[in-house]
Each structure stands twice: as C-alpha cells, then as structure tokens.
Structure 1
C-alpha cells in the first residue's frame, strides 16, 4: 500500500510540474564535453521524473531479489520440518499401537528430511524395547544422531533398560548414578535403579529405592507386589539362620508392606528357619485377624503345630468366623491332635472327610481312633483308607 501511494504521489507531482510548465518556451542545455543537448523544460522535467521512477523500480527489484534466496530457503525448511513432524507423529502412533515396522518406517522418513533429531531415534528405540528386541534398540541408541540432542535423560533411561536386559546391572547402575540430582528423581530412573540394585543383590538399598518408587508412583500394582516379594525373599535369604538379622528385617518392615501375602509368607518362613517360631506365629495371627486370607493358612499351619497350645485359641476363633473352610478345619484338627484333644480332633477331621474324602484324612482318623483306644472305629477307617489307596492305584 505504501508503494502504491508513493507511485501516485510521483505521478501527481509530474503532472503538476508539466501543467506549470505549459506555455513556457524555456530551453534546457546540457553539456557533456564537446556534446550539447538542447531540450525543452517540459521534456527535461518529464525525463527526470521518469529516470527517478526507473531507478525506484530497479532498487525495489534489487531488494526483492536479494530477499528471494532467504524466502526460498525458509520455504524448503518449513517443508522439511513439516515432514519431520509428520514422521515423528507416525512413530508415536506406531509406538502406542505396538507396530514396530511402522516405527522403523517413520524413522526412515525422518532420516530423509536430513534434519532429524534424537527424538526420532528415541521413538524407534522405545518401539524396539517394547517388542523385546533389545539388540535393535542398542544399535539405534549407539548412532551419533541419537546421542546429540535435548533428550539426554531419555537416552540414559533407554540405555539403562538395554543394559538390564543384558543383565549388566553394574553398567546400568553406573549410568543412572551419573545423572544429575534432578534427573535422578524421575520415576523411570528410580524404577530402573531399583531393578539394578535387585540384580546386584543389594537388598537393603533396593528396599529403600522401592519405597522411593512407591512415593512417586513409579510402579504398577503388579510390579510393586513382585518387587516387594523379591526384595524380602532376598533379605530373608541373606539373613539365613541368624535370628538377630531376621528380627532386624521384621522390625524395619512397614505396615503397608506387611499387607502383601508373599511378604508375610517369606518373613514367616525366615523367622521359622532362624528359630523364631513365636514371632512367626504372632505375625501370621495378626495378619489373619486383620484380613483373613486362605493363602496364609499353609504357612500358618506349619507354625501353629509347632506351638499348638499358644495357637489353639486363635485357631478356634478363626474357625468360628470361617466354619466352612476345610483348610481351617484341618488346621484345627491338627492342633487339637498335638494337644491330645482326641474328641475335638476326630470330630473336625470327620467334618473334613464328609466334605472332601481323601486317603490323607482317612489315615489321620485311623491314627486318632487308635490313640483314643477305639479299635473298632480305627479298623473302619483303616478299611476306608485301603479303599482310597486301591482307587488311587487303579487311577494311576
């Protein structure tokens, strides 16, 4: 708009000067050395204006032509950036859908632009890791363009996953510990650090790291349960038969961790192995009274028969709450047998046999009737036991 107004102004001035010069017969003489140019004033004015106009147009054209390479370069750069954005978007979609071939195709398209960043390689590497192709992921992450960029933290996380897949726990841990303190607080970094510590059997450090992972929600429920069971199994194994170490492990356990059935079984087994039967029984009884779980009955059965007198009141209370539980009935019968309460033991084993006949229960009843000096009843159960054994042999 400014250029158009300037051109109109020049035309208006030219017309005005021409009109002013009408009727003026003046001449203009221009000398170039020995040459002389003779022209009218009107022609001289118009020639000057035309010369100005030509110079103006030439200057504008020169300026536009000097800007053309930059605009052309900007146009091609925009096209490349759009192509790269589209390729990275396709790579992310392939990552979400688990299409590893689609992710490789997206990386190839990004490479054709010539301006691909480390993000394209990280997307492709993550897709390979998702497909458990860690060798492909390692090859991609070792390329130079994958190492240069603004996503160095993501690069370390992916390389840590590759190292863990190769069971290079020391290498993975050293990479993660070399990160700056702010990056070390990232959820995935803490998760990988916990896995590396578990791989190195540094169970106490792994437990501390597990709690840090739980604080930042870095683990799924399945991962939390599995990691917690592995850590406490490792702590129990490292404690061995040392009662003081097992007491230390038990005292350091948090209430939320003791809600895990696998942890309770592991701790009870470790306490029983180290001779702390009372501690194991108390731990299991507290857990069963707070939240009854059938999965705890086998290990509680092992502990309760070792201290039948102390366990009997709690077993009776549990049986009153769960009268139809066959496992609990059998546990109560075994505890009563250990306390030589033959009548209670017999009645409970007979209740179990009525609901679930087996050679195991028949053998127990035979033994109990013999202990109670009831030979006729013992003979009857011996016959039932023989029938069970004969049927089992026929099935075999």
Structure 2
C-alpha cells in the first residue's frame, strides 16, 4: 500500500513538472557588459537545483571526511567496551561452571579493560556498577579457592565502588556485597563476623528473606538461641519455609532454649517468652514440664503446663501423636505422689469417658495405687497390661502388679508378674 501511494505521488510530481515546464515561456536575462545572456526559466531552475545538490553533496563529503578520526576513535572504544563486557560474561559463566581460577582471571581482565578506558578519558556507562560486579565475581571465586586475602581485597574494592549514599543501583550492589560477605563468614564458621556484617545492613535490607536466613544460621552457630528463635519466627511470617518446616525449626529452637535454663525462675521466663501457639505445641509443653520437674519446680506449675495437652488428648484422642501421649502419661506418672484432688478427678473422669484407652487405664491404675486402692489398681493395671503397646509402660504395669501381689502374699502371682515384666522389655 505504501509503495502504491509513493508511486501515485511520483506520477503527480511528474505531471506537475511537465505542466509547469512544457508551457513555460519565461526567460532570464543576465547583463554583463558588453555581453547579454538570455536563459530560459526552466534552465535557470535546473541550474539552481543542480548547484544546490552539488554543494550539499560536497559539504556532506567534507563533513564525513572530517568525522573519520572521531569515528575511528569511537570504534576503538566500542571494541574495548565489548571486550570488557565479554570478559565480565566469561567471568560469570566460569564461576557458574565451577572454573574459579578462570573466573577470577576473566574478572581481572574486565577490570583492566575498564581501567584502560578510564585512562584514555572515556566514560563507560554504569562504570561503577560494572567495576563493583567484577570485583564481587573475583571475590566469590577467591572464596571458592579459599584465598581469604584476595577475597577481602576485592570485597573492599567492590564496597568502594558502591557507596552507601550512591544511586539506587549502587546501594543495592552494596547491600548484596554485604550479604555475600556475611555468607562467606558463615562458611568460614565465623558467626560473629557474619552477624557484624549483617548489622551493617540498612533496616529494610536486614529484614529481607536472604538476610534473615543467613542470620538464622549465624545465630544458631553462635548459640544465640533467643535471637535465632526470633529470626525463625520472622522467616515463618515471611513464608520462607513450608508450614511444617517452620514449625519444626521453631520447635527445635524452643526446646534448645528450654534446655538452656539452669533454674526454675529462668525456665519460667523462657516459657512466658514463647508465643501462645508455641506453648500449645504438645512436644514443647511436655518437654518444658519435664524440664521444670527435673529442676525441682513446683508440681502444680508442672501440671498447669501439661493441662492443655491433657485436654487435647482427652477430647480428641487421635489428634495427639502416640509418642506425645506416652510422654504425657510418663510426666503425669512422675508426679502422682503430690497429685491434687482436681487432677485425680480429671484422670478418673477421662478413664470413665474412654474406658478402652489403655493409657488412661494405666494412669488411673497408678493413681489408685498411690491412693492405696489396691483392688481397683490391680484391676485397672491388669486390663491395661494386656492392651498397652508401649513396652516401657507394659513392663511398669507388670512390675506394679508384682509388687501388689507380694504385698498381699501371693508369691505365685508375683513371680508370674515379674516374669512378664522382664519379657516386656
């Protein structure tokens, strides 16, 4: 379509020129005494157009001739810039491929090309960012080669090329370099240096997922369990882990924090520092209660920490894992000597509500023994010993039955119970 329009326009110009020149009778007379020159108007117009075209072509040719040195210079600079970018790409490619010596050499070559351009007075677009990136690639390769001195030298050069108050890209480059440096310190098992580098980050960059991951590993390496737990909570809120993984990490750190308590007062402070959702975790509540009991804490407080887990097991027996339920039973069994009437009533009510639960039968039987209800204790423990799946609880039930048989003078029943207790292990 465009070609057709151009063709129509060309025909129009030709027709207009023919109409103008064909019937044009005008003349132009030039007087140059003693001469007189008569020229047709068409000839004058053609001469003017031809002169203009000739002069314009001559000026363009002269400009192109004068521009040749500048074009040659631009071409040389362009070739150097291409060589610099090619070296930088080679450095990145070799680093990804695990050829760290070649990567460092290519990064140094890129820096040399950039220095040559700067010495020649040429300005490379994004030159500071390119230099910082080349230094970081060389530092990364040096870290892989375990060349700490060269790594630190390139790192400092990269930080100089990316000032803290520079452009947005320069700030991003500086923050990335600091994060990589923290990661290198973590690889060197130097947790203090990693935390120090992370502390130098701006507040916004320090809350990024990558920085928080590094901080989590560094705090765990430095045995700063409380900071590690706080960092894990932030990562869980940022959805850096799957829900199950986040729960597992938080649970492990909370257990480690509980284990670090050396007295009951410290343990209570640790327990109150946990979030409500964490205190409701069965494994945490049971472990904290066992730790409190081991430190000689108040039995009433121990059972208060166990109460939410107990209610969950009673209300939803399948909601609590078997090993957690067994730990709960053992924790309550260890405090039966000072069990208050409210807890005895809870155990009795739970057993009556679910008489087929062997664990509740066992716990109720042990409670009856503590209250010197020998007959009921023997009945409950006998039923429980036939259904318990845990070897430890089953052996404990048979041992208690053997002691009850010895107390009433039934040596045969006692011997049989001791035999079954031995076989249950």
Indicate whether the TM-score tops 0.5.
Answer: yes
Q: 1:255 aligns with which of 270, 276, 288?
A: 276
Superposition RMSD on alpha carbons, in Å? Answer: 5.2
How far off its partner does 1:315 sit?
A: 3.2
**Deviation digits for residues 41-61 of structure 1, max 9, x if unmatched?**
659956665443222013334
2:191 alignment partner in structure 1 = 169
Whole-angstrom distance in 2 between the partners of 1:313 and 1:64: 105
**Deviation digits for residues 181-216 of structure 1, max 9, x if unmatched?**
232232332343344334333444444444444444
Q: Contact 1:28/1:39 (CA < 8 Å) preserved in 2?
A: yes
Matched, 1:193 2:215: yes
Q: 1:350 aligns with which of 382, 387, 392?
A: 382
Q: 1:246 aligns with which of 267, 283, 304?
A: 267
1:229 alignment partner in structure 2 = 252
How far off its partner does 1:168 sit?
A: 1.4
Matched, 1:155 2:172: no
Whole-angstrom distance in 2 between the partners of 1:295 and 1:128: 49
Gaps of 5+ in 2: 1-8, 115-129, 163-169, 313-318
Q: Contact 1:191/1:219 (CA < 8 Å) preserved in 2?
A: no
Whole-angstrom distance in 2 between the partners of 1:341 and 1:120: 82
Residues 344 and 58 of structure 1: CA distance in aligned 2, closer, same or farther (over 3 Å):
farther
How far off its partner does 1:304 sit?
A: 1.7
Residues 183 and 383 of structure 1: CA distance in aligned 2, closer, same or farther (over 3 Å):
closer
2:366 alignment partner in structure 1 = 334
Matched, 1:182 2:218: no
1:34 alignment partner in structure 2 = none
Q: 1:296 aligns with which of 324, 328, 338?
A: 324
Residues 62 and 125 of structure 1: CA distance in aligned 2, closer, same or farther (over 3 Å):
same
1:276 alignment partner in structure 2 = 298
Matched, 1:266 2:266: no
How far off its partner does 1:283 sit?
A: 0.8
Q: Contact 2:398/2:421 (CA < 8 Å) preserved in 1?
A: yes
1:53 alignment partner in structure 2 = 53
Q: Contact 1:236/1:270 (CA < 8 Å) preserved in 2?
A: yes
Q: Contact 2:229/2:253 (CA < 8 Å) preserved in 1?
A: no
1:35 alignment partner in structure 2 = none
Gaps of 5+ in 1: 30-37, 92-98
Whole-angstrom distance in 2 between the partners of 1:123 and 1:323: 69
Q: Contact 1:194/1:209 (CA < 8 Å) preserved in 2?
A: yes
1:366 alignment partner in structure 2 = 402
Q: Contact 2:140/2:151 (CA < 8 Å) preserved in 1?
A: no
Whole-angstrom distance in 1 between the partners of 2:39 and 2:211: 86
**Deviation digits for residues 208-255 of structure 1, max 9, x if unmatched?**
444444444445432443244324423542x302x2222222223221
Question: Which deviates more, 243-252 or 339-348?
Answer: 339-348
Q: What is the count of residue pairs matched by the alignment? A: 356
1:95 alignment partner in structure 2 = none
Whole-angstrom distance in 1 between the partners of 2:398 and 2:289: 30
Whole-angstrom distance in 2 between the partners of 1:179 and 1:100: 26
How far off its partner does 1:171 sit?
A: 0.8
Residues 327 and 127 of structure 1: CA distance in aligned 2, closer, same or farther (over 3 Å):
farther
SS at match of 2:276: coil
